[in-house]
């Protein structure tokens, strides 16, 4: 690796990754990816719930907060490609991936790329509030912003406050619409089957077929798969944060630190 490529890798890490509580010698790392319109700060409080030697890395998408001047990503795949490069300096320890809503799709794409690469694959994948890629059927037509906004309101994909407060709307809506457009354009006709374990989470306030939707994630791994529902809506992970993090830690403890392990 040349000096220039090394520099660009670390620059990418600085742009994309936030470490609320840096750890000098972590045993493992938990990489958390936010929902559409979300930010790395959504996971700031998680760091205090983790053991000292589990380092939390929160992903910051472009087009918001300290990356407001950057253009938003155009696709889920574009984000995943950038994150694989950004995570390279942190691959010296086992990586677990957690993603909520859009973040779940991105986390899956990152996991698939890591397993297909020359380095270690992820130690485990946690997805929340999203369909498995092979069950995800976005509309074929390109939707305009008005239609995307209406769909976002109806689906509960984001906090209603975003639409109710003009200043917040002006600040957040461009990134939200860009993220939702990226999700709606996502296609995975033949998704890669992973080797790492997968756990799928969701809120209980959903349709009757949510258990089947969650269970379908198990079709995408040759390792262990599980699912769990928590009381709440699409954003259950905010009021149920303590329970969710505890569940993740329990499963990480069972899986150990092997990059790939069939349980």
Q: Using one digit for the tens of pLDDT, what is the confidence trace for 36-73?
A: 999 999 999 999 999 999 999 999 999 999 999 999 99
Q: 0.75 exceeded by the pTM? A: yes
Strands 17-18 and 54-59: antiparallel
The percentage of residues in the chain with a pLDDT greater than 90, rounded to a whole number, is 63
- Kindly tell me if the per-residue pLDDT of 7 is higher than 50: no
Instruction: Return the SS3 of 229.
Output: strand
Q: What is the Cα Rg of the chain in Å?
A: 17
Alpha-carbon gap, residue 49 to 71, rounded angstroms: 33
* Residue 261: predicted pLDDT: 35
Q: What is the mean pLDDT of residues 139-146?
A: 62
Alpha-carbon gap, residue 213 to 127, rounded angstroms: 12
- Kindly tell me if the per-residue pLDDT of 29 is higher than 80: yes
Q: Is the dihedral of CA 161, 109, 83, 29 positive or negative?
A: positive
- Kindly tell me if the per-residue pLDDT of 2 is higher than 60: no
Q: What is the mean pLDDT of residues 217-229?
A: 95
Distances from the Cα of 143 to the Cα of 17, 35, 138, 154, 178, angstroms? 30, 20, 11, 15, 11
Q: Count Cβ neighbours within 10 Å for each residue of 42-61 and write b for 16 or more, e otherwise.
A: bbeebbeebeeebbbbbbbb
Q: What is the mean pLDDT of residues 170-195?
A: 87
Q: Which of 79-83, 111-115, 180-184 has the lowest mean pLDDT?
A: 180-184
Query: Cβ atoms within 10 A of the Cβ of 187, count?
Result: 12
* Residue 123: predicted pLDDT: 97
* Residue 154: predicted pLDDT: 63
Q: Which of 26-30, 167-171, 172-176, 199-203 has the lowest mean pLDDT?
A: 167-171
* Residue 181: predicted pLDDT: 87
Q: Which of 123-127, 152-156, 250-254 has the lowest mean pLDDT?
A: 152-156
Residues contacting 248, CB < 8 A, separation 6+: 30, 96, 98, 126, 199
Q: How confident is the model at residue 28 (pLDDT cuts 50, 70, 90)?
A: very high
Q: Are 135 and 213 in contact (CB under 8 A)?
A: yes
Instruction: Return the SS3 of 162.
Output: helix
Q: Which of 87-91, 172-176, 205-209 has the highest mean pLDDT?
A: 87-91
Q: Angle formed by the axes of helices 76-87 and 166-184, to 10°?
A: 90
Alpha-carbon gap, residue 36 to 8, rounded angstroms: 26
Q: Which of 25-34, 169-178, 182-191 has the lowest mean pLDDT?
A: 169-178
Domain ranges of the chain: 3-255
Q: Which residues are catalytic?
A: 101, 234
* Residue 138: predicted pLDDT: 61
Q: Which of 116-120, 153-157, 211-215 has the lowest mean pLDDT?
A: 153-157
Tokens of 162: 């975003």
Helix residue spans in the chain (DSSP H):
3-16, 76-87, 102-116, 145-155, 161-164, 166-184, 210-215, 241-255
CATH class of 3-255: alpha beta
The mean predicted confidence, pLDDT, of the chain is 87
């Amino acid at each position: 690796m040349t000096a220039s490529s090394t520099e660009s890798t670390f620059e990418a890490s600085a742009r994309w990754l936030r470490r609320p509580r840096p750890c000098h010698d972590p045993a493992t790392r938990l990489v958390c990816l936010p929902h559409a319109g979300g930010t790395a700060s959504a996971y700031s409080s998680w760091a205090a719930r983790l053991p000292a030697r589990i380092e939390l890395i929160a992903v910051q998408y472009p087009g918001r907060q300290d990356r407001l001047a950057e253009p938003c990503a155009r696709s889920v795949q574009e984000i995943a490609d950038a994150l694989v490069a950004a995570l390279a300096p942190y691959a010296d320890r086992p990586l677990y991936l957690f993603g909520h809503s859009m973040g779940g799709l991105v986390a899956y794409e990152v996991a698939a790329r890591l397993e297909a690469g020359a380095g270690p694959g992820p130690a485990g994948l946690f997805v929340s509030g999203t369909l498995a890629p092979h069950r995800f059927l976005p509309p074929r037509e390109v939707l305009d912003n008005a239609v995307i906004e209406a769909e976002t309101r109806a689906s509960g994909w984001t906090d209603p406050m975003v639409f109710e407060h003009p200043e917040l709307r002006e600040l957040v809506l461009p990134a939200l619409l860009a993220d939702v457009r990226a999700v709606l354009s996502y296609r995975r006709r033949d998704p890669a089957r992973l080797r790492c374990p997968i756990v799928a989470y969701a809120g209980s306030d959903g349709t009757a077929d949510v258990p089947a939707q969650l269970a379908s994630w198990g079709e995408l791994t040759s390792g262990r798969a599980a699912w769990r529902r928590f009381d709440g809506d699409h954003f259950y992970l905010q009021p149920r944060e303590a329970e969710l993090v505890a569940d993740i830690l329990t499963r990480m403890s069972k899986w150990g630190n092997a990059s790939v392990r069939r349980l």
